[in-house]
Amino acid sequence: MAAIAVRHCVHSTAGPAAAAHGGSRRHAAPSAALRLRPNSAARPLLRTSPSTGAPMRRSYGVLRVKTQAVAEVGHTFRITETMDALRAAGKKALIPFIMAGDPNLETTAKAIKVLNDEGADVIELGVPYSDPLADGPVIQEAATRALLDQGTTLDKVLAMLTSIKGDISAPLVLFCYYNPIMRRGPDLFCEQAKAAGASGLLVPDIPLEETHEIKAIARSHGLELVLLCTPTTPVSRMAKIAEATSGFVYLVSVTGVTGVRTKVATRVEELVQSLKSVTDKSVAVGFGVSLPEHAKDIVEMGGDGVIVGSALVRALGGSSSPEEGLQKMTETFKALRAATPN
């Protein structure tokens, strides 16, 4: 895929200044804002139900279903627990990302088990989507292979997770664009994701202002919603994102898409400190992290977690066989684990 800068994905939390975007939108899942926007430039009107006091949103002329008060009794939010425990012990989280269905779902299941057994603190699993705007060539190609070559579907991904959930101790975050969630219905999606063993959800293409409902629904099922910040996010908006996120703040280290890069952006330390000036939640850094040296740099810059995607996805899905891919992915992850204090 052509390298396209993050806009609708990470400006979901970063705001309109995140970056310019120049890629095809023919198959894209429109953001909630674009999907509901009429010709006028009307802004959302917020109000509360006169009977329950629960928030109701009339967004771009469309009245949404009101969000009822959410009962969270009995839910354990494992991502927050994990990140808080690591930080209290002076340790750093290593968070790998792989794409479901690449090279096939059987190998994905084996890879998740390997990452879990080799010490992943949290695992991100991508749900393949036809227009992954936040992702660079490596992950987009993996999604394409999963969709076209393997016929991977959301139902198949959830069935695979269900089959291995008893073997996985690390919390798992589903990285999913909003279109599949919208098509299934957020409540059913979250119910099924939780039943399959997920602990969290990351939806890169909805803006902060549109996350209230999905967050409430997710938490009602025991899922945490992780939000993103970018290098162009103003500190005032960082504070709002940090307040709304659960588990950790995902700090995008570069203005652009995911991908393998030669070094960590020089601004990361400044960005980490800016976030930590407005929140006591953990800050995990991703996008462009691929080498052990990158992990060490992020730790030295004050990051609480290191997120690695493209390097693992390329090793796993770009090899000559699934067996070779698993071996290369394992070696890559072990080197990163050794560089990240645990």
Does residue 302 lie within any of the structural domains? yes
Does residue 2 lie within any of the structural domains? no
pLDDT at position 53 is: 46
Does residue 323 lie within any of the structural domains? yes
- What is the model's pTM? 0.79
Does residue 315 lie within any of the structural domains? yes
Does residue 259 lie within any of the structural domains? no
Residue 229 φ then ψ, to 5°: -120, 155
Q: In this predicted model, what pLDDT tens digit does every residue of 116-168 receive, in sequence order?
A: 999 999 999 999 999 888 788 999 999 999 999 999 999 999 999 999 999 99
Q: In this predicted model, what pLDDT tens digit does every residue of 191-240 receive, in sequence order?
A: 999 999 999 999 999 999 999 999 999 999 999 999 999 999 999 999 99
Find the CATH number of the domain harbouring 203.
Answer: 3.20.20.70
Domain count of the fold of the chain: 1
Does residue 43 lie within any of the structural domains? no
Residue 224 a catalytic site member? no
pLDDT at position 108 is: 98
Q: Which residue out of 102, 121, 124, 297 is catalytically annotated?
A: 124
Q: Which residue out of 102, 121, 131, 135 is catalytically annotated?
A: 135
Q: In this predicted model, what pLDDT tens digit does every residue of 165-202 receive, in sequence order?
A: 999 999 999 999 999 999 999 999 999 999 999 999 99
**220: domain range?**
79-226+292-339
Does residue 322 lie within any of the structural domains? yes
Residue 331 a catalytic site member? no
Residue found under tokens 């329950």:
52
Does residue 240 lie within any of the structural domains? no
Question: Cβ-count burial of 7 within 10 angstroms (0-12 exposed, 13-18 middle, 19+ buried)?
Answer: buried
Average the pLDDT over 70-92 and give the result.
Answer: 85
